[in-house]
Amino acid sequence: MEFKHIPIMLNECIDMLAIKPDGIYVDATIGGAGHSQEIIKRLSNKGTLIGIDKDGEAIAVSKSRLKGGCKKIFVNDDYKNYSKILADNRINKVDGILIDLGVSSYQLDNPLRGFSYVNDGELDMRMDSRQEFDAKYVINNYSQEQLTKIFYEYGEEQFSKVIAQNIVKSRENSPITTTSQLVKIIEGCVPAKLVFTNNPVKRIFQAIRIEVNGELDKLAEVVEEMIDSLNSGGRMCVLTFHSLEDRIIKDVFKKEATDCLCPKHLPICVCHHKAKIKLISKKPIVPSNEEIKINKRSHSAKLRVVEKL
């Protein structure tokens, strides 16, 4: 199966990065190199692209697709290890960073990866196939309370408790091992009309995927590290696809674009916090109607951009 991923808001991301030909740029979730293919077109032989992804298949595909031109460094690791990755490659500062927090079409559509609730496959959902912890473990070993918690917090699903109850009840007879088994259980927990109008399956699968891959763990901390690594005038672009991760990015950017964080009732500043960045757009950039028509998976995307002071 070909590693396909249509880059979301490609032109907007490239324009907002304001690429300097001799600069150092980081694609922290390189995927199928959709964005990076355009980044390297704008880099000279003195420029550098650092491509990071914890999916080994994504790194292999990116290496095959990105030829010639600038210096390229590929790292098969989690971008949460950003500071170590820079240190290992003896890089102190960079000129631009792009993070696409979405799941690639290849991962979603490949039944062997277990992300899809449309195509039947083994429950997996690991972005890094080297880790042992997977969706099958979560579904068959988490307590009812743990399942309810992640379904509610990561999926924002109103039927979290009853879905968790039915999963626990079902697995008492035999393990739940495939995506189709899980889909059937979820759909049996809600009124039939909701399956067609407001299907909870998508939200439950999202919650499990976030749990398996620790997508929200240390996200705020690594964004802070990335901001610190930018040269003055360097830009950071972050693509988010659901409210949980977008809220984290929004809050970090708002904090680091503010001089004083003291409570408003204090007459003078005692925190001595100084803004590190400026917001390029106060509101997130969203896909055009034309892009959404071409790529329906872009409909929930938001792009936030900041520039280092």
Q: What is the CATH number of domain 114-213?
A: 1.10.150.170
Which run of H or E residues covers position 95?
strand 94-100
Looking up tokens 């994504």 gives 58
Phi and psi dihedrals of 262, rounded to 5? -70, 150
* Band of pLDDT at residue 116, cut at 50, 70 and 90: confident
Residue pLDDT, tens place only, 239-291: 999 999 999 999 999 999 999 888 888 888 888 899 999 999 889 999 999 99
Q: Could you tell me where in the chain the CATH 3.40.50.150 domains are found?
A: 10-101+217-308
User: What is the pLDDT averaged over residues 176-193?
Assistant: 89
d(CA 155, CA 206): 6
* Band of pLDDT at residue 90, cut at 50, 70 and 90: very high
For 231, the token pair is 């040269």
d(CA 215, CA 219): 7
Phi and psi dihedrals of 237, rounded to 5? -115, 130
- Beta-carbon contacts of residue 170 (< 8 Å; ≥ 6 apart): 176, 181, 185
Across all residues in the chain, what is the average pLDDT?
Answer: 92
d(CA 200, CA 48): 43
Q: Could you tell me where in the chain the CATH 1.10.150.170 domains are found?
A: 114-213
* Band of pLDDT at residue 74, cut at 50, 70 and 90: very high
Q: What is the CATH number of domain 10-101+217-308?
A: 3.40.50.150
- Entry pTM: 0.90
Task: Kindly calculate the radius of gyration of the chain based on its CA atoms and give it in whole angstroms.
Answer: 21
Contact 283, 302 (CB under 8 A): no
Find, among 36, 40, 38, the residue nearest to 61 by Cα: 36
Cβ neighbour number for residue 132 with a 10 Å cutoff: 7
For 266, the token pair is 């204090």
